[in-house]
Chains A and B, each alone.
Chain A
Amino acid sequence: MSEYKGEIRKMMIILSKASIENVYAAFVLANGARMEGIEAEMFFTFFGLEALHNKKLDHLHVATVGNPAMHMPTMIGGLPGMEALATSMMKKEMEKLDMPEVREFLDILKASGVKLWACKLAMEMFHYTKEDMYPDVDGVLTVGDFYKEAEGLGTHMLFI
């Protein structure tokens, strides 16, 4: 703590889910770090990889089932079209706040110097290759590699 008086120097953000509310939370935190002069790197693992998958990242949805804060009965949340409806409503609200779409947000993060890493294990599990991913992905890493990236004082790690 004493070296930088507990100041945050780098955020390592692990995204393990691809429902749009989680993806945006991770992106806003990564962008917010850069805007404050803090380094940021993101590790996309398990379903979080969908937010980095070139053919899927434009079609992410809000989770309407198993999300008590939606205030929607699970059975209704499960009806066909509910996810799409909730997603389009949420996107409209976010546009008002000048929130970019997922792909544009990735472009902003890259331009801001955020490193984007895909998890090797999850890539193998889903049979994805680097070519399936967002073109500007920085690489495919093991957990060990990711910890190596995190080295240094003032690094904080966050799992979403």
Chain B
Amino acid sequence: MEKTIAQKTVQVNEEGYLTNFAEWNKEIGEELAKENNITLTPKHWELINYIQNEFKNEVPLTIRKIGKSGVVDIKEFYALFPVGPLKTATKIAGIPKPVGCI
């Protein structure tokens, strides 16, 4: 379905995840963060860049991998994205929701 985020019309799925990463930009990220009650700091952006790169390299994301990313540890990750961290972070980053169980 279509959704207008930050004055741009993009394709999203029924959970609100962008279905085409090429349509993502920083303004969309800011807007999606606001929808999830998050104010993005440089640390948030660092993490978002990291998971976007992992996505581009087709590496599946897990909480363990985030902890070993060198960007944040798991505690910091939950502090940045307190509710459903990986779900929220991927949504803001414009990449698909992780499908794994861990």
Contacts and interface: CB of A to CB of B under 8 A. Distances in A.
A111 B74 contact: yes
A112 B78 contact: yes
Contact of B64 (A32, A34, A108): A108
Interface residues of B, number: 19
A98 B63 CA distance: 9
A32 B101 CA distance: 7
Given A35-B87, A36-B84, A97 B74 contact: no
A36 B85 CA distance: 8
Contacts of B73: 111
Contacts of B83: 37
Given A97-B102, A99-B102, A108 B84 contact: no
Given A35-B87, A98-B65, A111 B102 contact: no
Contacts of B82: 37
Contacts of A112: 63, 74-75, 78
Contacts of B85: 35
